Structure 1
Amino acid sequence: MTAVDRVFQKIKRSRRYVFERKDFDGFASYDQIGRALRQLVKQGELIKLGYGLYTKARINSLTGRPMPTNPGGSDALMREILKMKGVDFEMDSLSLQSLSGESTQIPSSVQYSWNPKQFNRKLAVGNRVLNSPS
């Protein structure tokens, strides 16, 4: 079984949506894992979110381009990444009210804030970009 097959099998079996490169350390060498991940991104099975971060993908029937499979969309992916990295973050008040059911208004995008010393990366999911707050 090749490194690509092993990585792909782990991704398909997993309940998680976000993966780090280090999740596949025992499968092959560092370079082989990198090549396997690049190949899966090229095939449309993964989307690269940022340095060492990937998410499951499927092909969009309208555009023919890969899109995240997470049912919560890009905001759910961002929350999963921040939780996985152990970052203490806060969402804006309108988003919190919407998620808790206190408000029927749905914000166009969720705004996050956290300590940039804990997590200082740029993440991109399609057109949605999450930068560390200043």
Structure 2
Amino acid sequence: MIRTPTLEFRIREKIRKSRRIVFLRSDFKALGDYDQIGRALRGLEARGRLARIGQGLYAKARPNRITGKTMLAAPGGFDQVSKEALSRLGVRWEPTGAERDYQSGSTQIPARVTVRVYGDFSRSIFYGNYRLMVEAVAA
């Protein structure tokens, strides 16, 4: 008897094979209907394979080797995940002055992930105690 793979398995495989770190819920709409995908994504989140970082936004996750708790799988942490999420959402953004200074050699490390966003952007991107701070710039 041949078993067909579950929706959760197909989503997990799609995530595993992808080079992306951030996924939109709409990335999986070809695999099933809205409610089924929601249940599968919640299941993957409960198992520590995904982390919800906003409404309809998910990031690859893995267990921390020391604590065993779920953490973001991106090498750049929340900073990388939040910026990739903005790009995936089609938002035009740029780093703030503090980050540009740090990248050009300043020893002052920016304490929070902050970006300048052009146009309207009202979504919230977060993970645990981390939250993306947004400076709005008139378009």
The TM-score with structure 1 as length reference comes to 0.89
Unaligned runs of 5+ in 2: none
Report how far residue 98 of structure 1 moved.
Answer: 1.9
User: 1:1-134 counterparts in 2 under 5 A?
Assistant: 1-99=5-103, 101-115=104-118, 117=120, 119-130=121-132, 132-133=134-135
Q: How much is the aligned-residue C-alpha RMSD, in angstroms?
A: 1.7
* AA partner of residue 124 (structure 1): F
Report how far residue 130 of structure 1 moved.
Answer: 2.1
Aligned length: 132
Unaligned runs of 5+ in 1: none
Report how far residue 97 of structure 1 moved.
Answer: 2.2
The TM-score with structure 2 as length reference comes to 0.86
**Moved >6 Å (runs of 4+):** none
Report how far residue 91 of structure 1 moved.
Answer: 2.1
More divergent stretch after superposition (103-112 vs 59-68): 103-112
* Aligned residues with identical type, % of pairs: 42
Report how far residue 77 of structure 1 moved.
Answer: 0.8
Higher Rg = 2
